[in-house]
Amino acid sequence: MLRVAFLWHMHQPFYGDPSSGKMVMPWVRLHCLKDYYDLPARVGRLDNLKMTFNLVPSLVEQIELYSNGTTSDRHLDLTSKKTDDLTREEKAEIYKSFFSANIKTMIEPHSRYHRLYQKLADCGFDHEFAVRTGSNQDIRDLVVWSNLAWVDPFFFKQEPFKSLLAKGENFSEEDKGRLIEGQKKIIADVIPCYKNLQEQGKIEVSMTPYFHPILPLLCDTDSAREVLPSITLPRNRFVHPEDAERQIGLAVEKYRSVFGGDLNGMWPSEGSISEGMAPLVAKFGIKWMASDEQVLYGSLAKSGHAPGGSPHAVYRYGTEHGHLSLFFRDHALSDRIGFVYSGWDADKAVEDFMGHLRHLDDLLGDNPNAVVPVILDGENCWEYYDRDGDDFLNLLFDRLERDESIETVTMSEAAEKLQPIDLPRIRAGSWINHNFRIWIGHAEDNTAWDLLYDARQALSRFKNDNPDFDADRLARAEKSLMIAEGSDWNWWYGDEHRGQHNEDFDRLYRAHLSAVYSELDLEIPRLLLTPISSNLPETFLTEPDGVVSPQLDGLLTHYYEWLGAGKFDCLKAGGAAHRVDQAVSAIYYASDVDRLYFRIDFLDNRFLVDNPSKQVQLEIISPVSGVFHISRERLEKQPEWLDDIDSLKFGLDEIAEFGLDRKVIFPTGGGELYFKIGIVEDGKVVELWPPSDPIRFLLSDRGEEIVWDL
C-alpha cells in the first residue's frame, strides 16, 4: 500500500497597518470565503482521508481579528457603506479595485460581473468616466459581485449565497447586508473547523515561524552563499538566531493557545532550512519539518552520499536538542496540482495524478517505509481552476478515499510509524530553486535587509539604554520589527515577482520599520520615507522596437538575430505563486513584412533534446483561435484554418523558433494578435505562459510600427 502525505500551506502576509490596525489589503478575509474553510471541511466529510494543514500563526491572528470584529479593510469598508452615501472618489476607487479577481475563472462565469467589467473596458478603464456614465445600481451590483465571486462553490447551496447567486443582479442594500453577515459566519467558523477536525484525528495542523521569516537568513544572511557563492549580499551581515528562535517560540505559543497541546510539525517558511536553524526548531520539541527534494539532493551530496536518494522517505537529522524527522516534497507531483491541472478537465487531471501515484507504487514496490510527500500552497492556485477547483477536489478526494492501494497519512503519522534514513548534513536552501535568491541578492532586497538591520540595531541600543521604557510601546516596536522580518516583503522586491500591489507591500514594509522608531520616540531615517521598490510592474515585458527576420533553425545563430524583438521574461513574470519545474525562461516575438516570428528560450538548452516527447504549443487567441503543437521533427497539430502547411516554418533545438505567414492571420497585413506559449506532454499542457492574460501584439499593415501590451 502506498502512503501519501499531503500538506496544504495556508498563508497571507500580516496586512495590519501599525498606525490604524486595519488591514491594508483584503486577502485574508476573501481567502477565508474561498479557501481556508472548504479544503479541510472536504477532508472531514470522508471517512478514510487524512491530511496536514500548515497555518501561519500571523494568518491565524488576522482571522481572529476579523472574527471578533476588531479589524476591517478598505474593501470591506466600501462594501459596508450605503451606495447612496458613497462619494464620487469612493465610487471611482470601487471601479479601480473591485475587479481584483481572475478574469477567466472568477469574473467571466458570472454574467452581471462580466458585463460590469466589459463596461469598464468600454470606458477605456477610465474609472472617473465609468462613474459618470454608470448608476448607483451598477456600483451596488459590482460591490456585491466583488465579494460573491470569492465565495467557494462549497457554500453555494447555503444562504445567503444561494439566493444572491440566483438573483444575479439588481441587488439591494439588504442583500449586501446579508452577504456581509454570511461572510462573518464563514470567517468565524474557519479556526473551529481546523480545531474540531484535528480533535477527531482527521487532520493535523502544523505551523511556520510566527510572521513567516526565512529562518536561515535570520540566523545568518551569509547562509545564502552556501548555494550561491557569488551572490551580492547586503552591506550589513544580519546575524540574529535569537530572533529566529523567538519567531519559532511565538508559533509554539500560538498553537498551544488556539489548538491546545504541543506543536509537532513545521513547514518552515518557503521550505527554507539550514544547519543553523534546525537546532532551534528541535529545541522547542518540534518533531518534524519539511523542504523540497532539491534541498534533499544537495544535503545528500553534502553528507557524502553517492548521487541518488529519493524524496519518498522520511529522513532524520540530529541536533543537540534531539532528532528531527525531515520530509522533502515531490515537487513535480506537487506542482502538477499547483500549476498544471488548472487548465485540464477535472476527470483527466485526477486520472493523471492517480496514474503518477500508481507508477510510484510500482517503483517503490513493497518498501514498508516509503511515503510520497505532496506539499503545496493551499490557496493561490484555485483561482486558476474552474469553480475554484471544486470539481477537481471532489473527484480527487473521492478517488483517494476509495483507492484500496493508497493510504493517506498525516506528516506526524509518517514520522512516527516509518523507519527514517539518517541525513548527517543539511544544505541550506528553500523550495524555490533550492536557494534564497528570491529574498536576497537583488539591489532592492539588499536595501530592505539593510534597513531591517538598522532598525534592529536601533531597537537593541534603545533597550540597553532605556531599561524602564514603557513596556507596551516597546512590545509594539518589537512586534513591528518581527513583522518586517517576514519573507513576504522581499518576495515582491526585486525582479522575480511583480504585480499591481508592489507599491502597497513596499509602503507597508517601510511603515512597520518606521513604527519601530516612532514607538521609541526616535527620529525616522529619511531612507524609510523613500520607496524601495522601483514600481515597475511590467519589467518582464519589453517592447518590440524593430523588424526581425531570424533564421528558423532552433539555434541563436548570432547575437543580433533577434535584436529588436519583444520579450516576455517568464522568470520575472511570476506572481503570488512560483513553480519549481519551470522549463521556459523567456518568449520573444517579432515580425517582418512577410512573417510573424516566435522564439522560446529554456532554462536548460537541452530541454527539447532530452525530452523528445515534449511539444511546444503556440496558441493564437485572436483574431482567429487555434492551437499549434510542434515537436522537433514535425507539426503535430494545427488549426483547421491553416490550409497551407508551408505557411508555418519552425526549428526546435536549443531554442524553439517558428514563423507564420502574416497573411494567414491578417489578410491586410496588420492588426491585433493575442497569443500564449505552452509546453505539451501526452497531449496535455503542462506549462503555459502567460498564466493569465495573453500577450497582445499590435502590428501595422506594413509590419513596421510594433507596439505591445499585456
Which domains does the chain carry? Answer: 443-529 (1.20.1430), 541-709 (2.60.40)
- What are the φ and ψ backbone dihedral angles of 404, each rounded to 5 degrees? -75, -10
354 and 599 Cβ atoms separated by less than 8 Å? no
- What are the φ and ψ backbone dihedral angles of 604, each rounded to 5 degrees? -120, 120
What element of type H or E holds 2?
strand 2-10
Residue 243: which pLDDT band, with cuts at 50, 70 and 90? Answer: very high
pLDDT in tens, 82-95: 999 999 999 999 99
What element of type H or E holds 510?
helix 502-519
**pLDDT confidence of residue 547:** 78
**pLDDT confidence of residue 575:** 53
| The three three-digit cell numbers of residue 647, written as one number | 505557411
Q: Per-residue pLDDT for 579 more than 50? A: yes
> For the residues 616-624, what does the mean pLDDT come to?
88
Query: Prior bond to 525 cis, omega within 30?
Result: no
Average pLDDT, the chain: 91
| The three three-digit cell numbers of residue 82, written as one number | 450605503
**pLDDT confidence of residue 377:** 94
Task: List the single range of 96-100, 438-442, 447-451, 590-594 with lowest mean pLDDT.
Answer: 590-594
pLDDT in tens, 323-333: 999 999 998 89
DSSP secondary structure code for residue 135 in this structure: -
Q: Per-residue pLDDT for 707 more than 50? A: no
Which of 30, 66, 39, 28 has its CA nearest to residue 145?
A: 30
| Number of C-beta neighbours around residue 113 at 10 A | 25
| The three three-digit cell numbers of residue 615, written as one number | 511539444
pLDDT > 90: percent of the chain:
72
Q: Per-residue pLDDT for 175 more than 90? A: yes
| The three three-digit cell numbers of residue 190, written as one number | 474557519
| The three three-digit cell numbers of residue 63, written as one number | 482571522
Three-state DSSP state, 709: strand
Residue 566: which pLDDT band, with cuts at 50, 70 and 90? Answer: confident
Give dist(CA 589, CA 674) in Å, integer: 11
Residue 166 burial (10 A CB sphere; 0-12, 13-18, 19+): exposed
- What are the φ and ψ backbone dihedral angles of 413, each rounded to 5 degrees? -60, -45
Q: Read out DSSP for 46-63?
A: SSS--EEEEE-HHHHHHH
440 and 231 Cβ atoms separated by less than 8 Å? yes
- If DSSP states are collapsed to H, E and C, what string results for 219-239? HCHHHHHHCCCCCCCCCCCCC
Packing angle, helices 241-259 and 173-199, rounded to 10: 100
**pLDDT confidence of residue 545:** 66
| The three three-digit cell numbers of residue 142, written as one number | 459590482
Q: Which residue in the block uniquely carries the three cell numbers 517558511? A: 269
Q: Per-residue pLDDT for 497 more than 90? A: no
pTM over 0.85: no
| The three three-digit cell numbers of residue 556, written as one number | 541563436
Which of 42, 11, 43, 38 has its CA nearest to residue 27?
A: 11
**pLDDT confidence of residue 694:** 81
Give dist(CA 674, CA 670) in Å, integer: 13
**pLDDT confidence of residue 19:** 87
Q: Per-residue pLDDT for 176 more than 50? A: yes
Residue 242: which pLDDT band, with cuts at 50, 70 and 90? Answer: very high
pLDDT > 70: percent of the chain:
95
> For the residues 380-409, what does the mean pLDDT come to?
96
pLDDT in tens, 252-265: 999 999 999 999 99
**pLDDT confidence of residue 21:** 87
Angle at 688 between CA 685 and CA 694, to 5 degrees: 130
pLDDT in tens, 109-152: 999 999 999 999 998 889 999 999 999 999 999 999 999 999 99
Three-state DSSP state, 522: coil
Residue 435: which pLDDT band, with cuts at 50, 70 and 90? Answer: very high
Spell out the alpha helix ranges (H) of 524-641: 607-610
Which of 493, 524, 497 has its CA nearest to residue 511?
A: 524
Q: Which residues pair with 689 in a beta bridge?
A: 677
329 and 297 Cβ atoms separated by less than 8 Å? no
Q: Per-residue pLDDT for 539 more than 70? A: no
680 and 661 Cβ atoms separated by less than 8 Å? no
Amino acid found at 479: K
**pLDDT confidence of residue 513:** 97
Spell out the alpha helix ranges (H) of 273-345: 278-283, 293-302, 331-335
Q: Per-residue pLDDT for 536 more than 90? A: no
94 and 143 Cβ atoms separated by less than 8 Å? yes
> For the residues 353-379, what does the mean pLDDT come to?
94
Three-state DSSP state, 596: strand
**pLDDT confidence of residue 582:** 84
Q: How far is CA 334 from the centre of its chain?
A: 13
pLDDT in tens, 22-70: 999 999 999 999 999 999 999 999 999 999 999 999 999 999 999 999 9
Task: List the single range of 298-312, 352-366, 451-465, 506-520 with lowest mean pLDDT.
Answer: 298-312
- What are the φ and ψ backbone dihedral angles of 433, each rounded to 5 degrees? 60, 25
Q: Which residue in the block uniquely carries the three cell numbers 444572491? A: 164
Which of 396, 393, 483, 329 has its CA nearest to residue 21?
A: 483
Three-state DSSP state, 650: strand
Pick 134 or 558 by higher pLDDT: 134
pLDDT in tens, 588-608: 999 888 889 999 999 888 898
Pick 560 or 320 by higher pLDDT: 320
| The three three-digit cell numbers of residue 431, written as one number | 523550495
Angle at 226 between CA 225 and CA 227, to 5 degrees: 90
| The three three-digit cell numbers of residue 222, written as one number | 551569509
Q: Could you tell me whether strands 541-542 and 656-661 are parallel, antiparallel, or unpaired per DSSP bridges? A: unpaired
Give dist(CA 363, CA 257) in Å, integer: 43
Task: List the single range of 213-217, 444-448, 506-510, 691-695 with lowest mean pLDDT.
Answer: 691-695
Give dist(CA 324, CA 84) in Å, integer: 59
DSSP secondary structure code for residue 325 in this structure: E
pLDDT in tens, 637-692: 888 888 887 888 999 998 999 999 988 888 877 788 889 999 998 888 888 888 76
Which of 613, 556, 612, 614 has its CA nearest to residue 588?
A: 556
Q: Which residues pair with 376 in a beta bridge?
A: 8
